[in-house]
Structure 1
């Protein structure tokens, strides 16, 4: 568990370069809360369907066990950043059609949507090893997909991280930081997308 926290600490550092200081964060599919627990924001709300995840949320994190596409009690135009890691590919087209407009509605003007996604182009052989993957995303289709819902892609890195935490990603934080900074990333199969509400 500690190695996960160390890895996510460096991912938080990387993401924060694109967000600057923010007041409000929503994370979709928060899981073990490794990102939301460590990201500096005054208001932090996470969504996950697994009630077991509640025990991982740090004090000050409002982890809600509910469907992220609804996001009850999140006011429109109130959120600076929506973050999701390995989340969208688990949704059907119909679910995505409900979720993306909701994300856009809750974001402030110029609010950011940041995604870490498996890049099908770089991991086609393993993409459906996870039987819950429903939808294919790659660096070739993600920009058009997000533009359809009113987002502008500001940054797209086709390969930022290995396919999963089980990959041979270095576990020491300083090595993770060097990996993220390096122009050469062996086994990188997850893309990084920073988009902005139009």
Structure 2
């Protein structure tokens, strides 16, 4: 994505970093091991991967700005999510993408899944955090770069059709955006994650693994 997009639609916001640090503390740190290799696809401002504590952290984005925002120790790759040739086979334990695949055509997404299947370790998994069209249809195309539409059902079905096993679906995981007036205090995020009721929950979380023959 161009610098213009990041200057307008996706401007830098300190609140976003605070949200991701809280999400790491209360959710993702229980899923990522200290010795893991983590790949953040479509890393943007690197808020997720900067918060992660793992042996190796890799940020990938088409936007060259990731090189300015990656924390010390985070490796950066400027390129498309479908081109992971720089990474050896079975070298990634935890792949992650937040609000990425709605910006990709379905063909680009399938290419990315094929590339991921090669680089994920035998125990590796892919976690996606995405707008869920079923709950976010009114705002979905407020972002002019959205080109694909997914619900928790259609995304799971597409993954299965590409040879992936979906191991977890949370259809309402988080509110749609940090641009809301919701506070970013950690204890409130922890309470939201723990609550069975998700007011304004319009983002879904899916976890999948490639089926190994």
Shorter chain as denominator, the TM-score bin is over 0.9
Q: Deviations over 1:2-49 (max 9, x none)?
A: 432221012223123334444201111101111101111111111112
Q: Which residue of 2 aligns with 1:3?
A: 15
Matches for 1:10-25 after TM superposition, within 5 Å: 10-13=22-25, 14-25=27-38
TM-score, structure 1 normalization: 0.94
Contact kept? 1:162, 1:168, Cα under 8 Å: no
Structure 1 residue aligned with 2:176: 163
Q: 1: distance between equivalents of 2:127 and 2:112? A: 14
Aligned mates of 1:92, 1:25 — CA distance in 2: 24
Match runs of 1:5-154 below 5 Å: 5-13=17-25, 14-154=27-167
- Post-superposition Cα deviations, 1:80-106, rounded to whole Å, max 9, x if no partner, equal 011000001100012112111101111
RMSD: 1.4
Instruction: Tell me the distance in 2 between the aligned counterparts of 1:20 and 1:168.
Output: 33
Q: Which runs of 4+ in 1 moved over 6 A?
A: none
* Inter-partner Cα distance in structure 2 for 1:20 and 1:105: 21
Q: Which residue in 1 is equivalent to 2:193?
A: 180
Aligned residue pairs, count: 198
Offset, 1:125: 1.0
SS in 2 for 1:51: coil
2:34 touches 2:55 (CA, 8 Å); kept in 1? no
Inter-partner Cα distance in structure 1 for 2:35 and 2:196: 28
- Contiguous gaps of at least 5 residues in structure 2: 1-12
Contact 1:37 1:61 in 2 (8 A): yes
Task: Give distance in 2, aligned partners of 1:104 and 1:44.
Answer: 18
User: What does the per-residue CA deviation read over 1:39-77, in whole Å, with 9 as the maximum and x for residues that have no partner?
Assistant: 111111111122123111011101111112102310111
Shift of 1:174: 1.3
Structure 2-normalised TM-score? 0.88
SS of residue in 1 equivalent to 2:15: helix
